[in-house]
A and B are shown apart, each in its own frame.
Chain A
């Protein structure tokens, strides 16, 4: 079983490496990622959001909706843990009695 998984994992890795072959090089300032959406953030964020930290500006304003989702994820995880663990201690007490 472990050999099969190893072969599968290696194949998957080779596939991912195949995909990296014609990626723009690491740190290339002319790559699409650096030239299409992001320059506008850098050039306009200070003027539009009054925030010198660009990461904060994008996090809290341009993509603020994602950030709401992020806090929601944490809230969900907290509720899920509360649901699971509170019940578990309850069961144990019952067993102890």
Chain B
């Protein structure tokens, strides 16, 4: 049974999505428990896979029993297992949350939306578990199509934002596919490990160089790396709360995972530093992204939109860690991915809860929210601390590693940029906390009698629980960061640093 977990973790949500449709037709109220049950099962399996990887080393799983470059192979090491836990964990929180959230925002369509939600988890898990480049494309499209559907059902201007996302996402996926084609024509293989063995002889050919660039550009589009970020803020802003609470933490980070695989496992990173110095360009783009993202975030008057720009800034941190190509940078990138998934889950879900009670997310309307929704705002504050990098949250350690990486690479200007972006983070998040903590709701001048006491009015328990759990995860991962480094990151640091 445990040996079959790698296949089951993808297949179970897929089958469950299929059964969701008749189940919802029979009784719509069964959809939510079914969704939560399935994601609890995948989370358990993800933890099981992680345990196996830590105890027995990387797992190789052959689909249909065919030998690797001929059949499709799963090669699961610590990074794959970690991504699986992040995806199913964040998916579970979002699933619990989706009950009241879907009922409020897209009532009557929960069946299809829950089914698509499961497809989204299937697609994302498929991307991070497989070791075959074409298989990555197929699952990338499953994940993309399901999130297009989920975002577009948000109402308002959501369809237009989705259409732009579809165009950009398709260009990205097609560039990736074309890159895979260029690699295939020059090597004849699609398996990641096999290509890693075949490619070094071909590093000086133009076709491999073009392939590497195409794949990185395609994934950067999916990752919303500056200057290819324009589709992201609108799409995640218009999406229903439960959807943005899962898509925003996961999609850009899964793309970040793919960049790690392309730079370190598919190619050798020396290819990108010596023969084709694209990492130099990427590191500058990353710095611009984290500054521009933060500046845009400051300019926003709406909390949810501000968070969307913060996602773009955080992509910069991940890419910076990857592009510096040293031990600390690699560790920093992975820690940032973990931190981002926990924090963005926490903050986006908390924002959804605020929208549920307040009605919208404009910052001026958030007055005295600490009194009205104390638990939500406490969790939000924990998330903000991790975003800024205050110990003992994981955000502190991830930034520390990135600064060490800059020191090791001798990039003093990058350290300045990192510190500056931290200050910008403080500015835009504390603006929210200041309003929520010290300002009363907007005065109503028509009113003559005194204002009523602000009553505690939390979001429903099913929405509150995931927010608190995500905040707990932030503190837990922060306290356990040394364990994470020793057991999950050190074994996979590529040789040659």
Residue positions of A touching B, CB distance < 8 A: 15-16, 18-24, 31-38, 40-41, 61-66, 69-70, 72-73, 75-77, 79-84, 86-87, 90
Contact = CB atoms under 8 A, between A and B. Distances in A.
B474 to A, nearest CB: 32
18 contacts: A16-B210, A19-B182, A21-B207, A22-B207, A24-B185, A31-B188, A33-B185, A36-B188, A66-B134, A69-B135, A69-B138, A73-B142, A75-B17, A80-B148, A81-B149, A83-B113, A84-B153, A87-B109
Nearest to A84: B152
Interface in B93-145: 106, 108-109, 112-113, 115-116, 119, 122-123, 126, 132, 134-135, 138-139, 141-142, 145
B299 interface: no
A30 B141 CA distance: 33
Given A84-B153, A86-B109, A20 B207 contact: yes
Contact of B72 (A18, A32, A63, A84): A63
A62 B70 contact: yes
Nearest to B208: A19
B206 interface: yes
10 closest Cβ contacts across the A-B interface? A19-B210, A80-B149, A36-B188, A69-B138, A83-B112, A32-B188, A65-B63, A33-B188, A76-B145, A65-B72
A79 B188 contact: no
Given A62-B64, A86-B109, A76 B70 contact: no
Given A61-B64, A63-B71, A83-B112, A22 B153 contact: no
Contact of B210 (A15, A70, A77): A15
Contacts of B178: 16
A37 B17 CA distance: 34
Contact of A22 (B112, B138, B198, B206): B206
Contact of B186 (A23, A73, A75): A23
B34 interface: no
B72 A24 contact: no
A14 to B, nearest CB: 11
B324 interface: no
A28 B182 CA distance: 15
Contacts of A61: 64, 66
Contacts of B50: none
Nearest to A41: B70
A10 B132 CA distance: 31
B111 to A, nearest CB: 9
B109 A37 contact: no
Given A62-B64, A69-B142, A73-B138, A34 B188 contact: yes
B216 interface: no
B186 A32 contact: yes
B126 A21 contact: no
B211 interface: yes
B296 to A, nearest CB: 21
A72 B142 contact: yes
B171 to A, nearest CB: 10
A43 to B, nearest CB: 11
A84 B166 CA distance: 15
Contacts of A87: 106, 108-109, 153
B119 A36 contact: no
A73 B71 contact: no
A72 B64 contact: no
B184 interface: yes
B209 A19 contact: yes
B145 A80 contact: yes
Best-buried of B106, B142, B148, B188 by chain A (most CB within 10 Å):
B188
Contacts of B112: 79, 82-83, 86
B255 to A, nearest CB: 18
Given A24-B186, A65-B72, A73-B138, A79 B119 contact: yes
B64 A65 contact: yes
Interface string B298-328: 0000000000000000000000000000000
Given A19-B210, A24-B186, A80-B148, A37 B116 contact: no
Best-buried of A22, A33, A72, A84 by chain B (most CB within 10 Å):
A72
A54 to B, nearest CB: 13
A19 B187 CA distance: 14
